[in-house]
Amino acid sequence: GNGDWYDRARSGEFGAGTRSTPEWAGQYDSWTSHGNVYCVGKGGKYGAVDENGTVLVPLQYDRASDIGGLNPSGYISAVTGVIGNYTSDIYQNGSLVKTFQGKRVSTAAYYRDFSFTTDNTLFGMMTIDGNELLPAQFKQIHPDGNGNYYTYIEDGYTNYVGLYTYDGDCILPTTYYTLKLQENNKYLAATSYNAYGLIDVTGTTVTTIIPLEYGYPQIHNYNFAVFTKNKENIIFTLDGDPWFPDAEEGSGTSLFASKLYNDRYRDPYDYEGLNFNGWAKICEGYSETVMPFIIKTNATESGYATYYVDYKTGENKGYIPYRASNISEDGYFIYQDANGKYGVGGTNGL
């Protein structure tokens, strides 16, 4: 089906799956892997063969770069000429089946159809019959890995992205600041640098999961996402539900991860040497899998609770009824009690 062409092409299913020296290499002056085929050269002319040495494009082109990849329908392109005077030959099973004049028409393993351009600046998509699926008005067109195309345009210093089906139906116009597939038809989307959210794209139907009204998120292993708003952090599952549903509504349910600035260098038994400088948000480079998430809640005396969650599995490992740090390698953490005093705690299982 359309949806898996991209992954199948990347796996090598539609062409050469090995890059060791092929048995037929001695027949040519040069050979190089070129996407999912091999470009071969002899006597100053270039063509293409598959992994078995079967000719896909005859040796009659001046540059190896003129030759495209083998698409899922078995077509492969070869282009000559310059802007304004392109000639694009399309081959199938080694035979010329179509020639386009005035357009640079190219094939690739990850394109179902054909990309084309007349000026080598703006690109569109078309069928083997020359029918336009997408007009040549995009700076780039890339498969999203989910059966659609990302389309890109450039406006001054800003790049915008949209989403179209392989058949050219517009799902999202090319006006988005960000579109990025996460999992199961879910896309991170943004209309500006501070308007991020999560949407579901099923066919051409778009459903909002998390409204596009947050700052740039951190998405952890597809289990949950940390979004920012009004300088506070809110954690959602990728289904749009609050990560901690038991946080008291109206109690300032800001959710964030924290760790000690100097955790690596401290002696957990040396109370005088704690030199606690404050709380720091965990960044993407955090090396441990269990992360602390602090919620404001009316359910504890301190007004806080810290949940320890494995961000790779989403498993909740337990909680502490205080504001607390990450747990160090030797099993200790710093916490802040209801009176604002700091102390050191320990655990065996988190």
- Nearest 5°: the CA angle 207, 164, 214 is 40
Could you read off the pLDDT of 5-58 as tens digits, one per residue?
444 444 444 444 445 789 999 999 999 987 789 999 999 999 999 999 999 999
- Res 19: pLDDT: 59
Could you read off the pLDDT of 83-111 as tens digits, one per residue?
989 999 999 999 999 999 999 999 999 89
Which is it for strands 342-346 and 55-61: parallel, antiparallel or unpaired? unpaired
- pLDDT at residue 243 is higher than 70: no
Q: Which residues have CB under 8 Å from 301's CB, separation 6+?
A: 321, 338
- Res 345: pLDDT: 81
**pTM for the complete prediction?**
0.74
For the sheet with 186-190, list strands across it.
178-183, 186-190, 196-202, 205-220, 224-229, 232-237
| CA 134/CA 33 separation, integer angstroms | 29
H or E element that contains 8: helix 5-10
Could you read off the pLDDT of 180-214 as tens digits, one per residue?
998 889 999 999 988 999 999 999 999 999 999 99
- Res 61: pLDDT: 96
For the sheet with 170-176, list strands across it.
140-143, 148-155, 158-165, 170-176
Phi, psi at residue 321, to the nearest 5°? -80, 35
pLDDT band at 128 (very low <50, low <70, confident <90, very high): very high
